[in-house]
Amino acid sequence: MLHTFVALVSDKPGVLTRVASLFRRLNINIVSLTVGESERPDVSRMTIVCEAPETAAHRIRASLYKLEITVDVDEVGRSEAVIRELCLIKVAAGPKTRSQIFELSDVFRARVVDLAPESIMLEMTGAASKIEGLIQVLKESDYEILEVSRTGRMAMRRGHHTSRVLKALGTPSSRKPETSDFAAKPEPDEILPNEFPHVHEEEEYDLTEAVDDHGEEA
Amino acid sequence: MLHTFVALVSDKPGVLTRVASLFRRLNINIVSLTVGESERPDVSRMTIVCEAPETAAHRIRASLYKLEITVDVDEVGRSEAVIRELCLIKVAAGPKTRSQIFELSDVFRARVVDLAPESIMLEMTGAASKIEGLIQVLKESDYEILEVSRTGRMAMRRGHHTSRVLKALGTPSSRKPETSDFAAKPEPDEILPNEFPHVHEEEEYDLTEAVDDHGEEA
């Protein structure tokens, strides 16, 4: 099952190494990861998509939250978030085939960002399935795809979520679970170093419930 | 100085850890990193932007190339590549201020991807400077920016570059430096484990020259 986590992390050297090693330790495969600037200059926003059993989600989340670089972690489901990806596709096309590529790119709302004598570069944003749709149509229409580059999925919760985010970013002391709807910080011994545990104490901190339990707090 | 590397890497668990640790060892700060699927199912494409002295570029490239997971590495300059980023911006806006946000998003060619009673989510692609432009205008117009999420820069060389990419992907034996315009594979002892060396043997393998020396091979 695919899980999507949004983590706000301090923008320090080595952040990526720590997050990547964490997933390596938990033995969970990262399907895609994007990191970029957030609404605060010293905080980066990461979207991590990983393949893991359904029961594993809250343990991943707790482990991420335990990293000292982490300001906040959120797990977002498909229905409650906008999940987009950016893709650049370079297709071989000469003067004769160009107009057909233009038509296709119109239908898929792609944009032409480069045009060379023998190739066209398209830019497209959308859900992964839409991007795969365009790539498949291009392939089946016998166009030669020269290069594909994708950013991986980026997720943002729908609607107005100020207090949730600003609370997390505002004061370091907001990391107390009892004052917010964030996940409770797990006890140190709950993080196993070398393998992903078969979850056996879900009842102790049902983070999924805490996540779903957010409303319009503003 | 900012350097942009495009690396084709095997899609295996632990790839991210290895790349992140490499930059950590070289003591080079990664400004942004994106990973996503490429034109081949088992190969991912990474764009890595890092801050490093100009003389360091070819050593980073050689170190990346040395990782066994790496199929190919390319360094791209601003002029010869399309560099794009995807950004999601959530702005607080009610019925009265919505139309002003719509106008701004038209000017910046942003798209409205979500609309809630008290907020609007915009999606925008472009160079980093363009994205920062919109964010700045929104801030200076006193709109409250609730959340910003950015993928980091993704780069693709302009024009037709089939043979370069397909050669790299086609056969494992194409990793011989003498048969292509790729960087020469450095000798094992040239990789220093714990710090970034003050480059002292640039003449031995001037990779930058090899990179610039590509033409339309097709």
User: Does residue B75 share a domain with residue B163?
Assistant: yes
Q: Note the pLDDT tens digit of each residue in B114-141.
A: 999 999 999 999 998 999 999 999 999 9
Q: Which of B101, B117, B150 is the last residue of a domain?
A: B150
Identify the band that residue A65 occupies on the pLDDT scale cut at 50, 70 and 90.
very high
Residues of the domain holding B112 = 82-150
Q: Is residue A213 included in any domain, yes or no?
A: no
Q: Residues of B numbered 9-48 whose beta carbons fall under 8 angstroms of chain A's beta carbons: which are they? A: 13-14, 16-17, 20-21, 24, 29-30, 32-39, 45, 47
Q: Is residue B217 included in any domain, yes or no?
A: no
Strand partners, B43: B10
- CATH number of the domain enclosing A188: 3.30.70.260
Q: What is the mean pLDDT of chain A?
A: 77
Q: Which residue of A has its CA nearest to B17?
A: A20
Burial A75-111 (b: 16+ CB within 10 A, else e): bbeeeebbbbbbbbbbbbbeeebeeebeebbeebebe
Q: Note the pLDDT tens digit of each residue in B17-70.
A: 899 999 989 988 888 889 888 888 889 999 999 999 988 888 999 999 999 999
User: Does residue B164 share a domain with residue B76?
Assistant: yes
- CA B202 from chain centre, in angstroms, equals 24
User: Does residue A90 share a domain with residue A23?
Assistant: no
B118–A218 C-beta distance less than 8 A: yes
Q: Is residue A143 included in any domain, yes or no?
A: yes
Pairing of strands A119-126, A81-92: antiparallel
Percent of chain A with pLDDT over 70: 73
User: Does residue B135 share a domain with residue B76?
Assistant: no
Q: Note the pLDDT tens digit of each residue in A96-138.
A: 999 999 999 999 999 999 999 999 999 999 998 999 999 999 9
pLDDT of residue B123: 95
CA dist., res. A87 & res. A92, Å (int):
16
- CATH number of the domain enclosing A126: 3.30.70.1150
Instruction: State the DSSP code for B180.
Output: S
B35–A156 C-beta distance less than 8 A: no
Q: Is residue B218 included in any domain, yes or no?
A: no
User: Does residue B67 share a domain with residue B86?
Assistant: no
pLDDT of residue A215: 37
**Do the Cβ atoms of A12 and A53 come closer than 8 Å?**
no
User: Does residue A185 share a domain with residue A98?
Assistant: no
Give how far B109 is from chain A: nearest CA, Å: 11
Q: Note the pLDDT tens digit of each residue in B152-205.
A: 999 999 887 654 545 555 544 333 333 333 433 443 333 333 333 333 333 333
Identify the band that residue A208 occupies on the pLDDT scale cut at 50, 70 and 90.
very low
User: Does residue B163 share a domain with residue B105?
Assistant: no
User: Does residue A182 share a domain with residue A129?
Assistant: no
pTM as predicted: 0.73
DSSP calls for A157-205: ESS--HHHHHHHHH-GGGG-GGGSSSPPPPPGGG--SSS------GGGG
User: Does residue B165 share a domain with residue B73?
Assistant: yes
User: Does residue A76 share a domain with residue A166?
Assistant: yes
> Model ipTM?
0.73
Q: Which residue of B has its CA nearest to A29?
A: B13
Which residues in A lie closer than 8 A to residue B36 (C-beta atoms)? 32, 85, 87, 149-152
Domain count for chain A: 2
